[in-house]
Amino acid sequence: MGALHEGHIALVKRSLAENDLTVVSIFVNPAQFAPHEDLATYPRTLPQDLDILSAQSFIIQNEDGSETGQIRKPAALFLPAASEMYPSGITQNTTEQKGTFVKVEGYSHQMEGKSRPTFFRGVATVVTKLFNAIEPTNAYFGQKDIQQALLLKRLCRDLLLSHPDPEHVHIVPTARDTSTGLALSSRNAYLTNDGLQVAPTLHKALKAAEKAWNTGSNKSESVEEAIKVIETEKAQALLCGIKVEMRLDYVELNNSDDFEVIDPQMRKNEAGPHPVIISGALWVDQTRLIDNLILGDLNSIIS
């Protein structure tokens, strides 16, 4: 959706390395914002985005590692207008929307969908349109939005899409601040200086839950470890005079195959063949931050 950061650029670089032609789409999609959400204020930095994209390149190499002298750069930027993507018009109120929309039933109400019940309907619709317009061989999405990425792989499978097919929907690891672990996000631009100091709290909390899970704690105990970290960070911020409000939306462990919440008493050795996703959302003042970690076979999801 624009406001490009290193996480987006990692997707572009991956595509340049693996494809002859790379098309980048930038579209702030009204259909994935609820009426109370931040469509009007979402960061829009197109001139800066264009500069960043124009600076990206990949030097093609021969099989022996020598350079060919050929360079790949982004081939096209797809910048559709809302009227082109939604010819029947678009409103954020789903009860007033007209036209064709895509909904992935049974996989959109858990995790992020529990807090944002119309979000994945908007995502599935706009990405289907983008796939139809571009017909990519490969598509690249970030792990930070893990439910979105896995849902889109399922969408391609269920709709029998060939461009891309589900095996060519790639999920790229979350890009993070190298010193704090904070997941990079366009919405980080909303954070104040105080907010930036406490924003890594969610990642710390998820790491604590991951450690508990990996050392034998059950799901409930692992979630409790995450909550303890958040409460400790809130108290520490208060002591340090950091004027910021932190409000936990959720921390949860879900099966990566169907997104269902795992049993509170389940432990790592009982989790079954599919990786478990621990994810969370934390409000820092008026900015909602999300993050996740994959517990189990990372290579079965990241590709």
For residues 225 and 164, what is the distance between their CA atoms, to the nearest angstrom?
40
- Residues in Cβ contact with 213 at an 8 Å cutoff, skipping those fewer than 6 apart: 219, 222, 253, 267, 268, 276, 278, 295
CB 256 within 8 Å of CB 276: yes
8 is catalytic: yes
Which pair of tokens denotes residue 48?
């800066």
φ, ψ (nearest 5 deg) of residue 101: -130, 155
Peptide bond into 164 cis (omega under 30): yes
For residues 190 and 61, what is the distance between their CA atoms, to the nearest angstrom?
40
Annotated catalytic residue, options 5, 8, 36, 109 = 8
For residue 198, count other CB atoms closer than 10 A to its CB.
24
Which residues are identified as catalytic? 8
